[in-house]
Each structure stands twice: as structure tokens, then as C-alpha cells.
């Protein structure tokens, strides 16, 4: 501790250059400027008077420590004095708080220069103008606590001295979340509510107006860095991006007054129309002062505290701040405070030097420089209410409200301490003039009371609740007269989605904006498009691309398109899903009409062939080719030609089963008949040849058993198919755009392919036997036609397989129907067309004599050769 004192004394006594611009107009010794005696006294340090004649760019290292030109006064900060006076008077008149105890106050001006802050604090502690550590000329210790502010930097400077005595210190400046966990500030308390919900409030405002591209202006200190870190985390949740971050060097109650040209260029050229300002309000004033005469910067400022102009020069720059949105904690107006300010005059409070200087400055009274008091030539009936709103406001400011709460917190803590002492000693023995301030800490830490308007006063940051925020809008209307208009609220405790409430019609946007501004990096994608991220760019910067097929986006700014359900399809503009039309292969469909005509035509043609065979059943060519098998084959072909009609029309379970069952059964009959005819031909020319001993095979009618055996195998195969995985009604959502095709699924493609394989084996067997017997003599030998028809039959179904896999919907059904017609037509035309031609057009060839002559001529030819 001794080392600390030596360092402070050395710092205060450091030699300085003594050139100065101004002279004193009031005594600046170490006496307090406002004093009201009481049993217990609360001290306060308010930045009210300022050095108006010193150049803004003067270096503090060459500024004399004893020189303070108090000619200027910050009228807005003078309300802090009135708030403290009002709270002390209110408590002294309240018999329920500190009964039989009067509350006094001592208010000092807070200098702007750090060394003079130390000097002022020592003067308050010791009562001396000279700095003598650990010595005081005060007869008794009445001070219970002190109020400091407006910035944390100033409070921390004062704390370095007061903490040596464990003296309670209440700061009424903005809440600083960086310091709440630092144990070294145990004797310092923050009166302002915590602002952890402020980040959520600003983010909600951005979302409300669809602003996702914002700039950030913060102080270049630890508090600014912490805000940036927390703000980034909050914005990540809402997908809002920070366009740029600019820092301003903050020195106590002042700033570096000029921003660099690079900083100004970034602020002006950025596409972000919204800039969030966090920290002391003078950051904005610095920015405005730097840009006022050079740029017309049309930006929307979003700030975390109320903004006022401290002097006329900056007040003339309101055009640049017109339209700003300000978050400030909500509090109720203190009853009677406005009347108290209206009645405050130098006559009523003759000891208030600040009030005398304010009257001299604004009401042009004659002034006694030696006593810092007015004495004549004042405006009659002058009051603070006559001052313009840019100089002094009759509405309680945020800082004044915290001063009011700080006084109440100290008073209630003293009251609790008094009650605690009564429990241990008789009241008559309590010495109220003997006060050890460090004893007040336990009561300050746990204090939780309500002020006169019912608001909670809590100093422990862990028990502080997030306050409600009022959102106000700066109106430069009429020009030169600012108005703060409440346009919204943010209630952190409200249900999510209902926390923010805005009255947009009341907002006056900055000049140049004719509608709600759009602060975005990329314009939102229209419906029908989706976002595409850009490489090495923030998520708020993107391109737009149309939605893929059958996907839509029906809202603006969608990240991904939504796939339409199977029962719907995307409209041409990719904005809506339209319901698909149910369709099927009907008789009105062109494919249906064509195949129906082919089916009826071929079946009619087959019926005509049967009529020809019946009419000429006694001719040699009809008799030579086994009339019964021919009739069976022709009747089966009629049914095969009619089989495609089962595929046309709205499917049902019965037609789905009949399609595959009848297809397999009819073609089995047809191919088994062809196989029987082929075996008959082979047996007729091979087995009956001279010298054969197995002619009984022909007489035993073995070929007639081929048909039932083949049918039985097909029936067993179809039975297994229908019993395990039968065909069923299916819907095809993909084949035709905008349509749902109702068709039959085969159930199990394995059994379907087994059926085709079985038919193929029979066709190949018929082809092989017919091919081997193609050179057998006889005019009526039909081996060649049977072989060729089976070759065409196999070719048709071999080509069907890949086509079946490459098509779907109606086309696939039509291909199967066409394959049935083509394979049936190949048998009809190749096998029966030559016979019908001979019967109808060449009857001279349909005789046994011609057949014998032809056969005899062929035998002679063979003998000669």
C-alpha cells in the first residue's frame, strides 16, 4: 500500500510546462462545490463543468495540473445534480427510511484530465487542497459512499484510490459486462441494469427489417472487444453478417476527435446502410464532427443509449443523425421530479455553484467571478424549463435515473445496517456520527428494494434482471430541434417471437430514404430461386439460381428449394406445387386407339383364316398340315390378338391378374401347338420312312400330349406367381410430367421373366425341330414357315426386354401390347399366309397329282445328280 501511495504522489507532483490559454473565472481550490450537511453524507463526482477555452488537440502532458477553466457547463449533466438533490430530499422526508437520521451530500466536479481526477478525489478524502496521503482535517467521518461516472474508465481511475480504504463506490454509467467477474473491483458497484439482452434486441430489430448486412462502430478497448465477440455469436444465430468493424480510441471522458481518412472511406463506401454504435455516445459525435463538412453520409445509426448534443456546434449536425434508432432501458418517470427541476433556481439553492454558472451562461446574468455567483440583471421568472431541448431536457435522463437509484440503494443499505446494530446494542448507545464505510459492503451486495415508482434496485449483477428497452427515433423536425420519439419496445421476458414490438409508421428514416431501407449484401432471391453461396464470402453474400426440376421455393430468400410431393409437380415458374392429373392408357388415348384397331384387325383377319380353312378343309394342303392343330392355333391366335385389350382402360385387381395370366397361358397354348405341329411334321417324314421300326409313335398320337403337358407346366408356374407375389395396381408418378399414371405392376419380375423364358424354350425347341426338317420333301411341308415364325417370335421378345427397361408408364405398357401383337402376327402371317394364298389364288397347286409330279421330278433330278 505504501508503494501505491508513493507512486500516486509522484505522479501528481510531476513537473509540467505552465503555458495556458485561459484564466480562472471561479475559485478552483479543493473545497466542495455543493454541500448539504447531514448525519450521513454521500459523495458524488459529476462531469458538469468543462474547460471550454482549451484547444481540443492540446496534449495533456503539457497541461498544468492546477489549471481548470470552468467557464463552460454541460447543462445536460447538471440534471445529475438535481436527481441527487431530489432523491436526498425525498428520503429525508420519508419516515420509513433512516428515521432520526438525516442524509447529506457532497458533489464535486469531475475533471477531464486524469491527474486532476486524482487531485479532486484526494481533496474530498482529506479536506485539503494539498495532497497529503493518510491525513485528513475532517473532524468526523460522515461519508458512507460515493457516486462516480459516467464512464467505466473514470470510475476505475477513482477506484484505485478509494479501494485503498475499501470505500463503497457506486458507478451510474453504462453497465460493463467485462468487469463483473473481476474480483479486484470488490468495492465498486454498478447501478445500471445489465445489458446482456441488448444484443438480442438489436438482432431482433435487424430481423424485423430484414437487415442482414451491418457495420459496427465500437470503442477500441476491452469492453468493445467483448461486445464484438458476443455480438458475433448472437448474429450467427440469426444469420446476420457484419460488413465491417471500426474502432474508436476512447480516452476517459474524451475521444481522439478525428477518424482517419481510411476509416471515413470505409464508412461512406460500405454497402451497409445500417451501422450499430456501441459505447459512449461521444463516439457518434466524433464521427459526425469528422464527416460533417466533407460528406453527406446517409446511414442509419442504431445505438445503445440516448443521444444528445452537448453544445450548439454539434447540435447543428442533427441532419446527419436524423432517423437514428436508440435502445435505452425502460424506466418510469419519477413523480415530482419535473416540478422539482422547474422550481430549481439560484435563489432557492444559493450554495449550488453549478446552478449559478448555468444561469450566467444561458440567462446572461451579471456574475461575481470571485464568488461564482450571480447578483443582478437576470431574466425574470427564468427557469430550466425555458432552455431549449438541445441544451437541457425536462425529462429524466437514463443517467439521472441511475443516480436516483444509487442514492436509494445507499440509504436502504444504511437503514439495514442500523437495524443490524440495534439487534446487538441498545439504540441509545448507537453513535450515528461514527461510520466505517467498509461495514456497508455486506448490505450493498444483498440490497434489493423498490424505489418510489416500484422499480427494483439491485447492485449484485447476478440478481439483476434484463430490463425492458424502449426504442426511440431521432427526429430533426422542425430542422434544428430534435425530438426523441418512442417507436418500439423490446421485452426480453416475453415469449420468443413477441419480444419486439415496432410502430413503423412513426419512424422517420434518414433523408434520402423514401421507404424502409434495405441493408443487405445481396438482394433476396425471388420465389422460384434459391441461394448459392459464394466462395470466400460471408453467408449474407450469395447468388440466386433457379430451383431444380420438380422443386419450388414459394418464399423470398429461401436457402433450399422444396421438393414437391409425388402427387404434385412444380409449376413452370417453380413457385407452386400443382396437383397431378390421374391418367391411364384409355381407349381415347392415341396409343390405345392404335393398338385397339390393330388388335381387332388382326383378330378379324385370323377369323377369316379360320373361315378359309373350314371352307377348304377337304383340300390336300389343309389336310396335310393337321387340321385340328391348325384350328387350335388359329383360335388361340384370335385370343392372343384380343389379349392387349386387357391392358387398356382403368386397371383393377382382376384385370392386372388377367393380363399376365392370360398372356402366359395363351402363348403357351400357341407355342405348344406350334411345337406339336413341328413334331408331327418330323414324325411324318422321319418315322414313317421305309425300314423304320418305331412307326407306332405316329399311330399312338404322341404329339397330342405335348399341348396339355406344356399348359400344365405354365399353370403351375402361374400358380406360384399368383400365390407369392401377384400383380397389383400401381401408380407411376415420374413418367409423364404433371400426371399420375395408373397401371399394373407385375408383382414379381422374376416370375414374369421365368414365363418369358419358358415361352422362349418352347419357341426355340420348335425352331430347332423345324430347322432340322426344313429340307424334307413334300409340297405341303410347313417346316420352313414354322422355323421362320419362331425366329421372328424370339426376335420380338428379345428386343422387348431392353425396351421394357428403358421406358416407363404408358409407353412401357404399349410396348408389351405391341410385342404381343407382333409375335402373334408373325405366327399368323408366316405360317398361314402361304396356305391361304394357295387355297384362294392358286388352286391348281392344291392337288395331290401336282404334288406327286413335283415330288417325282425332284427325285429324277436327284438321281441325275
**Contact (Cβ atoms closer than 8 angstroms) between residue 504 and residue 516:** yes
* Residues in the chain, overall count: 865
Provide DSSP, 152-197.
HHHHHHHHHHHGGGT--EEE-S---TTSTT-GGGTTEEE-SPP-HH
Q: Comparing C-alpha atoms, which of 624, 601, 602 is closest to residue 613?
A: 624
Question: What does the alpha-carbon distance between residue 332 and residue 455 come to, in Å, rounded to a whole number?
Answer: 8
Q: Comparing C-alpha atoms, which of 254, 253, 250, 149 is closest to residue 191?
A: 149
Rounded mean pLDDT, 766-781? 66
H or E element in which residue 810 lies:
helix 809-827
Number of neighbours of residue 713 by Cβ within 10 angstroms: 15
Comparing 142 with 212, the larger pLDDT belongs to 212
CA dihedral 114, 119, 120, 126 (to 10 degrees): 150
**Contact (Cβ atoms closer than 8 angstroms) between residue 291 and residue 314:** no
pLDDT at position 237: 85
* Alpha carbon 506 to its chain's center: 28
Residue 155's pLDDT band (cuts 50, 70, 90) = confident
pLDDT at 362 over 90: no
pLDDT at 703 over 50: yes
Question: What does the alpha-carbon distance between residue 281 and residue 256 come to, in Å, rounded to a whole number?
Answer: 14
β-pairing, 739-745 with 728-732? antiparallel
pLDDT at position 141: 62
Q: Comparing C-alpha atoms, which of 311, 307, 397 is closest to residue 361?
A: 311
pLDDT at 694 over 60: no
pLDDT at 613 over 80: yes
3-state DSSP: the chain helix, strand, coil percent, rounded to 5? 45, 15, 40
**What is the 3-state secondary structure of 379-443?**
CCCCCHHHCCCCCCCCCCCHHHHHHHHHHHHHHHHHHHHHHHHHHHCCHHHCCCCCCCHHHHHHH
Number of neighbours of residue 228 by Cβ within 10 angstroms: 16
Mean pLDDT of the chain: 77
Grid cell 390393330 is found at 598
Q: Which of 367-376, 409-418, 565-574 is predicted least confidently?
A: 367-376
Rounded mean pLDDT, 361-382? 75
pLDDT by residue (tens digit) across 156-192?
888 888 888 888 999 888 777 666 555 567 788 888 8
Sheet holding 169-171, edge to edge: 34-36, 103-109, 40-46, 143-148, 169-171, 188-190
Q: What is the pTM of this model?
A: 0.65
pLDDT at position 582: 86
Question: What does the alpha-carbon distance between residue 765 and residue 46 come to, in Å, rounded to a whole number?
Answer: 114
Nine cell digits for residue 590: 392415341
Whether omega before 150 lies within 30 degrees of 0, making that bond cis, reads yes
Question: What does the alpha-carbon distance between residue 846 and residue 784 come to, in Å, rounded to a whole number?
Answer: 18
What 3-state class would DSSP assign to 769? helix
Question: What does the alpha-carbon distance between residue 758 and residue 668 come to, in Å, rounded to a whole number?
Answer: 8
Tell me which DSSP letter residue 509 carries.
P
Cα dist from 600 to 254, 636, 645, 670, 789, whole Å: 102, 14, 9, 18, 21
Comparing 117 with 545, the larger pLDDT belongs to 545
Whether omega before 285 lies within 30 degrees of 0, making that bond cis, reads no
Question: What does the alpha-carbon distance between residue 491 and residue 480 come to, in Å, rounded to a whole number?
Answer: 32
Domains and CATH numbers, the chain: 2-194+397-459 (3.40.50.2300), 196-303+307-333+466-506 (3.40.50.2300), 529-579 (no CATH), 590-864 (1.20.1070.10)
Residue 93 buriedness (CB in 10 A; 0-12 / 13-18 / 19+): exposed
pLDDT at 481 over 80: no
pLDDT at position 401: 92
Q: Express as a percent the part of the chain with pLDDT over 70.
A: 76
β-pairing, 562-563 with 568-570? unpaired
**Contact (Cβ atoms closer than 8 angstroms) between residue 176 and residue 159:** no
Question: What does the alpha-carbon distance between residue 1 and residue 116 come to, in Å, rounded to a whole number?
Answer: 21
Amino acid at each position: 500500500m505504501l508503494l501505491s501511495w508513493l507512486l500516486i504522489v509522484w505522479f501528481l507532483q510531476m513537473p509540467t510546462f505552465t503555458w495556458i490559454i485561459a484564466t480562472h473565472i471561479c475559485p478552483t481550490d479543493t473545497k466542495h462545490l455543493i454541500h448539504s450537511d447531514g448525519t450521513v453524507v454521500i459523495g458524488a463526482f459529476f462531469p458538469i463543468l468543462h474547460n471550454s477555452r482549451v484547444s481540443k488537440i492540446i496534449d495533456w502532458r503539457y497541461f498544468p495540473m492546477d489549471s481548470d477553466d470552468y467557464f463552460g457547463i454541460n447543462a445536460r449533466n447538471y440534471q445529475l445534480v438535481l436527481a441527487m438533490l431530489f432523491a436526498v430530499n425525498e428520503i429525508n422526508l420519508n419516515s420509513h427510511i433512516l428515521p432520526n437520521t438525516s442524509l447529506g451530500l457532497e458533489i464535486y466536479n469531475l475533471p477531464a484530465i486524469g491527474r486532476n481526477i486524482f487531485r479532486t478525489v484526494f481533496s474530498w478524502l482529506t479536506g485539503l487542497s494539498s495532497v497529503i496521503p493518510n491525513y485528513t482535517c475532517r473532524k468526523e467521518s460522515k461519508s458512507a459512499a460515493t457516486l462516480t461516472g459516467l464512464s467505466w474508465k473514470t470510475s476505475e481511475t477513482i477506484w484505485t484510490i478509494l479501494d485503498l480504504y475499501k470505500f463503497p463506490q457506486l458507478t451510474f454509467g453504462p453497465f460493463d459486462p467485462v468487469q463483473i467477474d473481476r474480483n479486484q473491483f470488490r468495492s465498486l458497484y454498478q447501478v445500471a441494469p445489465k445489458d446482456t439482452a441488448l444484443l438480442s434486441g438489436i438482432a431482433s430489430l435487424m430481423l424485423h427489417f430484414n437487415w442482414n448486412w451491418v457495420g459496427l462502430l465500437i470503442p477500441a478497448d476491452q469492453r468493445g472487444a467483448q461486445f464484438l465477440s458476443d455480438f458475433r455469436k448472437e448474429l450467427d444465430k440469426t444469420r446476420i453478417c457484419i460488413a465491417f468493424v471500426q474502432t474508436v480510441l476512447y480516452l476517459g471522458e474524451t475521444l481522439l476527435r478525428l477518424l482517419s481518412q481510411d476509416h471515413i472511406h470505409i464508412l461512406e463506401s460500405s454497402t451497409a446502410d445500417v451501422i450499430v454504435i456501441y459505447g459512449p455516445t461521444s463516439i457518434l459525435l466524433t464521427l459526425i464532427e469528422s464527416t460533417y463538412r466533407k460528406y453527406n453520409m446517409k446511414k442509419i445509426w442504431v445505438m445503445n443509449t440516448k443521444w444528445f448534443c452537448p453544445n450548439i456546434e454539434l447540435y447543428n449536425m442533427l441532419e446527419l443523425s436524423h432517423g437514428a434508432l436508440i435502445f435505452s432501458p425502460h424506466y418510469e418517470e419519477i413523480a415530482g421530479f419535473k416540478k422539482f427541476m422547474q422550481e430549481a433556481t439560484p435563489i432557492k439553492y444559493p450554495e449550488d455553484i453549478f446552478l449559478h454558472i448555468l444561469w450566467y451562461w444561458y440567462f446572461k446574468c451579471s456574475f461575481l467571478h470571485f464568488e461564482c455567483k450571480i447578483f443582478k440583471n437576470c431574466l425574470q421568472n427564468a427557469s430550466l424549463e425555458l432552455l431549449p431541448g438541445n441544451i437541457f431536457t425536462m425529462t429524466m435522463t437514463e443517467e439521472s435515473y441511475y443516480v436516483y437509484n444509487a442514492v436509494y440503494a445507499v440509504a436502504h443499505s444504511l437503514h439495514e445496517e442500523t437495524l443490524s446494530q440495534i439487534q446487538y446494542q441498545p439504540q441509545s448507545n448507537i453513535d450515528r456520527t461514527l461510520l466505517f464505510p467498509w461495514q456497508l459492503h455486506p448490505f450493498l451486495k444483498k440490497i434489493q428494494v423498490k424505489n418510489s415508482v416500484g422499480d427494483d434496485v439491485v447492485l449484485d449483477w447476478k440478481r439483476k434482471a434484463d430490463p425492458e428497452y424502449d426504442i426511440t427515433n431521432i427526429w430533426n423536425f422542425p430542422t434544428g430541434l430534435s425530438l426523441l420519439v418512442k417507436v418500439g419496445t423490446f421485452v426480453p421476458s416475453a415469449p420468443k417471437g413477441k419480444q419486439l414490438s415496432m410502430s413503423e409508421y412513426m419512424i422517420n428514416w434518414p433523408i434520402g430514404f423514401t421507404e424502409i431501407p434495405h441493408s443487405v449484401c445481396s438482394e433476396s432471391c425471388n420465389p422460384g430461386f434459391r441461394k448459392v453461396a459464394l466462395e470466400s464470402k460471408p453467408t449474407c453474400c450469395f447468388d440466386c439460381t433457379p430451383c431444380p426440376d420438380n422443386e419450388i421455393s414459394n418464399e423470398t430468400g429461401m436457402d433450399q428449394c422444396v421438393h414437391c410431393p409425388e402427387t404434385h409437380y412444380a409449376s413452370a415458374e417453380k413457385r407452386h406445387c400443382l396437383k397431378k392429373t390421374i391418367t391411364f392408357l384409355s381407349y381415347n388415348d392415341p396409343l390405345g386407339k392404335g393398338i385397339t384397331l390393330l388388335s381387332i384387325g388382326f383378330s378379324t383377319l385370323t377369323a377369316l383364316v379360320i373361315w378359309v380353312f373350314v371352307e377348304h378343309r377337304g383340300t390336300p394342303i389343309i389336310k396335310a398340315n393337321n387340321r385340328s392343330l391348325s384350328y387350335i392355333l388359329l383360335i388361340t391366335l384370335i385370343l392372343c390378338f384380343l389379349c392387349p385389350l386387357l391392358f387398356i382402360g382403368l386397371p383393377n385387381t382382376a384385370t392386372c391378374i388377367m393380363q399376365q395370366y392370360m398372356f402366359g397361358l395363351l402363348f403357351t397354348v400357341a407355342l405348344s401347338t406350334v411345337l406339336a405341329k413341328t413334331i408331327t411334321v418330323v414324325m411324318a417324314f422321319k418315322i414313317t420312312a421305309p425300314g423304320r421300326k418305331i412307326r407306332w409313335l405316329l399311330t399312338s398320337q404322341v404329339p397330342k400330349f405335348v399341348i396339355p403337358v406344356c399348359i400344365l407346366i405354365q399353370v403351375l408356374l402361374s400358380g406360384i406367381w399368383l400365390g407369392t407375389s401377384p400383380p397389383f395396381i400401381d401408380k407411376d408418378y415420374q413418367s409423364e410430367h404433371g400426371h399420375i399414371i395408373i397401371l399394373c405392376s407385375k408383382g414379381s419380375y422374376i416370375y414374369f421373366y421365368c414365363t418369358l423364358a419358358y415361352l422362349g424354350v418352347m419357341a426355340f425347341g420348335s425352331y430347332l425341330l423345324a430347322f432340322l426338317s426344313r429340307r424334307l420333301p413334300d409340297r405341303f411341308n410347313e417346316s420352313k414357315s414354322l422355323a421362320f415364325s419362331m425366329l421372328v417370335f424370339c426376335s420380338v421378345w428379345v428386343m422387348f426386354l431392353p425396351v421394357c427397361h428403358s421406358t416407363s408408364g404408358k409407353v412401357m405398357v404399349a410396348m408389351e401390347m405391341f410385342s404381343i401383337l407382333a409375335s402373334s402376327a408373325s405366327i399368323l402371317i408366316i405360317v398361314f399366309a402361304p396356305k391361304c394364298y394357295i387355297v384362294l389364288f392358286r388352286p391348281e397347286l392344291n392337288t395331290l397329282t401336282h404334288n406327286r409330279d413335283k415330288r417325282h421330278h425332284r427325285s429324277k433330278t436327284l438321281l441325275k445328280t
